[in-house]
Amino acid sequence: MFVPAGLHAATAQRQHLDQLAQAGADLFEVGLPTEDAALDGPVIQAAYHRALHGGNALDHAVRAVEHAASLRPTVVMTYWEPVSRHGPACVARVFADAGADGLMIVDLPAHQAARWHETARATGLRTPRLIPRTTPDPLLPAAVAGASGWLYAPASTAPTGYRGPLDIPALVGFTQRLRTASPLPVVSGVGISTPALAARVAPLVDAVVIGTPVVRALATDPAQAPDLTAAFARALHPTTLTETRA
């Protein structure tokens, strides 16, 4: 379950994380806000901008991770800009100290990858990598090199929040290519806009991350977010909510 840090005040944010965990989310991906979230659609971008207006984004994210990690395994999702601005060593250290299991930089520059992986490993953080579907086979080994934890395979090539149909055969082919290139688990998200689509994607990958549908609820009517999370949980694991990869 993707949750942008700082969307609400700290007390409300902790309450929302509690409710989402109880509703069936078994992993949290906490987003560190940034002004230029180029791979995200309008819902998550608006959530980030709202969070940034609330003050110190890094501090809000650290507090969100501290609470999320007390509930479920937690990773941080961010862009290179805030990591570069605060310093890779600082970012890795504060989130590792907060209890994060890993940190994924979705637009990690190729020339910074080795440095980042080394810095993160020194703090005990895993370094998942988002791999664009357009990555050609000859470049896959370099794209997955140094990654740890898992590989993130977007279910859609559109920005987050896409609500259209998914090209399931293309996703099947892509996940097969990733499994050939790396032994790491494959996780999917982006464009998984309904529980029905989540149920279709789940058999193809090792885990599914739900983002925009729940972020939209958190931003407009937080009371709806637990029920929506539970609906995705039931679709992904019909027999049990406690094992849901939401």
Tell me which amino acid residue 167 is: D
Classify residue 6 as left (phi > 0), alpha (psi -120 to 50) or beta.
left
Give the CA count within 13 Å in the CB-facing half-sphere of 217: 19
Give the CA count within 13 Å in the CB-facing half-sphere of 178: 29
- Token pair 């700082």 is found at 6
Closest CA to 155 of 144, 164, 167, 143: 167
Confirm if 53 and 98 have CB atoms less than 8 A apart. no
Closest CA to 212 of 235, 188, 193: 193
- How far is the C-alpha of 5 from the C-alpha of 215, rounded, in Å? 11
- How far is the C-alpha of 139 from the C-alpha of 158, rounded, in Å? 21
The residues assigned a catalytic role are 29, 40
Q: Are strands 2-4 and 186-189 parallel, antiparallel or unpaired?
A: unpaired
- How far is the C-alpha of 190 from the C-alpha of 176, rounded, in Å? 18
Q: Are strands 102-105 and 129-130 parallel, antiparallel or unpaired?
A: unpaired
Closest CA to 144 of 183, 201, 86: 183
